[in-house]
Amino acid sequence: MRFRIAILVLALCVAGTAGQTSSPAKAAKKKDDTPEGYKKDNLRGFTLYFSTEVLEQDKLSRQERKPLEALEQELIVVERVLPADKVKQLKAVPIWVEWDERIAMANGRGGRPVAVFYGGHQSNLLGDRAPYKANAVTVLSLRSLTNEHQPKTDTGRCVTLHELAHAFHYHVLGESALVKQTYKQAMERKLYDPEVYAATNDHEYFAELSCAYLDRLDYFPRTREELKRHDPKGYELMEKSWGKAPAKQDPAAAKGPKLPSPDGGGKHTLDVTTAGLRLGEALVGEVPPKDDWKGRPVLIFLFPVRHGGSHVILSKMNPWYADLKDHGLIVIGVETSKASADAVAKLARQREVAFPIIDDVRLPITETFALPHSLLFDHTGKCIFRGAPLDAEPYVRIAVGKALLARTGKESFSKAARPVADLLESGSPMTPVFTKLAEQIRTATGEAAGELKQLQTVLTAGGQKVLDDATA
């Protein structure tokens, strides 16, 4: 079960009316508003209430990034990605911090939340407990948050940003008809699989899209650019709500996309190879014989034809296939519900599917998993990704890039050829790769010129084969 944040609808210490259009009002100043067992502090302009246990655990911690440092790291992200006026508004929201409080998800999702906003229709979750936490964010498990933000294993997720997005929704936008309408339209168009958190309700839709628009989301659409392509109305909602987002300045972002978990957070085994696959009969198109798979990445997409979300996924996969098929990518769809060949062929025509679809695949896997589901194998036949199909895209592009580099037979490249190799290794789309290749070829000499010529040959081999076949 994935850790997820419960539905958040932010409020302030002073109870206000949901839907007000002005900024949240600051709480009236008191001599001592700190309950017993907590210490009030100010961190980067945010008002925080730390439990005694949190402060004790911070002193005892031997982790590379201590608990309070991990929390500060989140607040730094919030300040960096939000427009300045929105940061000022949301710094009025108090944040309570517990060490490891456990509650069930209030929206029926599995797992337990790392943080929660006790405001709006969530305020009744408190009951008679801790009324001072009403209309405020509570970090329930700083322990989990600290583990998540260790330097060598940092997931990049910002829990606090998600919470404060709920806060903004509740206090500034209120019960917005535009949010509800945009969410309803997205679900009617089947843009989001019911399993993803953004599909839960309009509140989670707004908060999750806010993360994608302002920073990053840990599933598709992961970034502002992906959101704009995938859900244009959702993107417009974000732009109207938050304004023009500040330019992203995270230097790590230039090195490539933040990748989702390759195994669904440990749910799926990757101990599978292409040698263990047994394919069924083709319903649409022709499957390349296994002898042709050598040295090529292979993406297997399992889906039931009646699953509406799968129809959207098929359309989204078409551009990947078009961009990468001449560079070695093999994609095979697998219809899992025993639908008729006519039904599958009709869907393929409607969605303009260019890759083959078969009626079955035997996998050497004993675990159960939800559909739709993808498995990606690299050029050596090793499984390198399993999970939600749209999350596979960055892995697909990286796998194709590494396969192309492997064809050169070189393990390292000269300074002039390195920029092209770096783009391929990071999963760049092919247009920037060819642009950089052309730039480097114009000025390279000697050994570097030979390496670039070799890369050019590898990159154009697929297109040359298509041309040769067409003119034969």
272-305 pLDDT per residue, tens:
999 999 999 999 999 999 999 999 999 999 999 9
Residues 388 and 421 in one domain: no
Q: Which of 338, 366, 399 is the last residue of a domain?
A: 399
Length of the chain: 472
pLDDT class of 1 with cuts at 50, 70, 90: very low
pLDDT class of 2 with cuts at 50, 70, 90: very low
Residues 390 and 454 in one domain: no
CATH number at residue 361: 3.40.30.10
Say what the pTM is: 0.57
Residues 199 and 68 in one domain: yes
pLDDT of residue 251: 35
Residues 375 and 420 in one domain: no
| Average pLDDT, integer, range 83-98 | 93
Residues 208 and 141 in one domain: yes
SS3 label, residue 244: coil
Residues 421 and 363 in one domain: no
Residues 360 and 247 in one domain: no
First to last CA, the chain: 55
The answer to whether residue 26 sits within a structural domain is no
User: Could you write out the DSSP letters of every residue in 423-465?
Assistant: HHHTT--HHHHHHHHHHHHHH--HHHHHHHHHHHHHHHHHHHH
Where in the sequence is the domain holding 364, given as residue range(s)? Answer: 274-399
pLDDT of residue 126: 54
The answer to whether residue 46 sits within a structural domain is yes
Residues 224 and 98 in one domain: yes
CA neighbor of 390 nearest in space, from 170, 101, 192: 192
Residues 86 and 211 in one domain: yes
Q: Which of 399, 426, 459 is the last residue of a domain?
A: 399
Q: Which of 374, 399, 424 is the last residue of a domain?
A: 399
The answer to whether residue 180 sits within a structural domain is yes
What residues form DSSP beta bridges with 373? 302
Indicate the angle between helix axes 393-408 and 446-471, nearest 10 degrees: 110
The answer to whether residue 10 sits within a structural domain is no
Residues 231 and 334 in one domain: no
Residues 289 and 310 in one domain: yes
Task: Return phi, psi of residue 346, to 5°.
Answer: -65, -45
CA neighbor of 401 nearest in space, from 455, 440, 442: 455
Cβ contacts of residue 292 below 8 Å, gap of 6+?
330
Q: Exposure of 341 by Cβ count < 10 A (0-12 exposed, 13-18 middle, 19+ buried)?
A: middle
Most confident option among 1-10, 15-24, 204-213: 204-213
- Total of domains in the chain: 3
What residues form DSSP beta bridges with 299? 331, 376
Residues 77 and 55 in one domain: yes
Q: What is the per-residue pLDDT across 317-354, written as a single tens digit (0 to 9) for each?
A: 888 898 899 999 999 999 999 999 999 999 999 999 99
Is the model's pLDDT at 471 over the cut of 60? no
